[in-house]
Amino acid sequence: MSTILLAGDNLTLDDFLQLQSLLNHEQGECDRHIEACHQQHHKPHVHPVHHHSRPIKFRRAISSQAAHESQLEKQRLAQALLTLQYLKDQYRRQRAAEIQAYLNEYRRQALISSVLREEEERYYRQCIAAALEQRRVNLLWQQFVEAKKQEELIQQLQQQELREQQEQPQEQAFEEEEQDEDDGYSEFHSQQLANLLKQIFAQQQQQQQQQQQQQEEDETTLPSPVPVVAAASAKANSKSEDEQKSMAEVWRYLNEQKADSETPRSAFLSSEQDRILGPAEEQTEQTAEASPQDEQQETESIGSPASSLSDEDQIKALPPLQDHVVTLQDLIQKLAAEPVLVGEEYNKYDAPVQSLKQEPLKERTLPTPLDTGKSTTAGEGAYDKDEVAKDVKEDKTKKPFLPQHIFTEAEPTPTLENMPNTPLDNASIKDDSHFVDTIAAEQQNQEMPADPRKEKANKELDHISDQLSHNSDLVQRWNSVLSHGNNLSFSKQPEGTLLLTASTDANRQFLGSEDEIMRVMLKLDSIDSLGDDDIRQKRKSLVKKCEHMLEELDQVKKTQWEKAVSSNKQGQNNRRRRNKKKNHRK
User: In this structure, are residues 465 and 520 in contact, taking their beta carbons and an 8 Å threshold?
Assistant: no
Q: Compute the distance between CA of residue 387 and CA of residue 353 in angstroms, rounded to an integer.
A: 9
What residues does 491 pair with on adjacent strands? 499
E-only strand ranges, 316-371: none
* CA 539 from centre of chain: 37
460: pLDDT strictly greater than 60? yes
Over 50: is that where the pLDDT of 104 sits?
yes
What residues contact residue 507 under an 8 Å CB cut-off, 6+ apart? 488, 489, 500, 501
Average pLDDT of the chain? 70
- By percentage, how much of the chain surpasses pLDDT 90? 15
Q: Which CATH class is domain 469-584?
A: mainly alpha
pLDDT digits (tens, 9 = 90+) for 199-225: 777 777 777 778 888 877 777 665 454
Average pLDDT of the segment spanning 323-346:
60
Please tell me whether residue 501 adopts helix, strand or coil conformation: coil
CA distance 183 to 79: 150
Give CA–CA dist 316/232, Å, rounded. Answer: 23
Residue type, 400: P
How does residue 117 score in pLDDT terms, banded at 50, 70 and 90? very high
Which residues make beta-bridge pairs with 499?
A: 491
58 — pLDDT class (breaks 50, 70, 90): very low
Which residue type occupies 414?
P
Selected residue with higher pLDDT from 568 and 341 = 568
Q: Cβ neighbours of residue 584 under 8 Å, at least 6 residues apart? A: none
The pLDDT of residue 137 is 95
> In sequence order, which residues have a C-beta less than 8 Å from that of residue 207 and are 6 or more positions away?
239, 242
- Residue 517 burial (10 A CB sphere; 0-12, 13-18, 19+): buried
pLDDT tens across 412-423, in order?
444 444 444 444
User: Do residues 311 and 240 make contact, with C-beta atoms less than 8 angstroms apart?
Assistant: yes
Residues composing the chain: 586
pLDDT in tens, 398-410: 444 444 444 444 4
**Pick from 252, 244, 283, 280: nearest CA to 373:** 244
pLDDT recorded at residue 357: 40
pLDDT of residue 109: 94
310 compared with 524, residue with greater pLDDT? 524
User: What helix, strand, coil percent values describe the chain, rounded to 5?
Assistant: 70, 0, 25
Distance separating alpha carbons of residues 140 and 326, to the nearest angstrom: 79
pLDDT at 140: 95
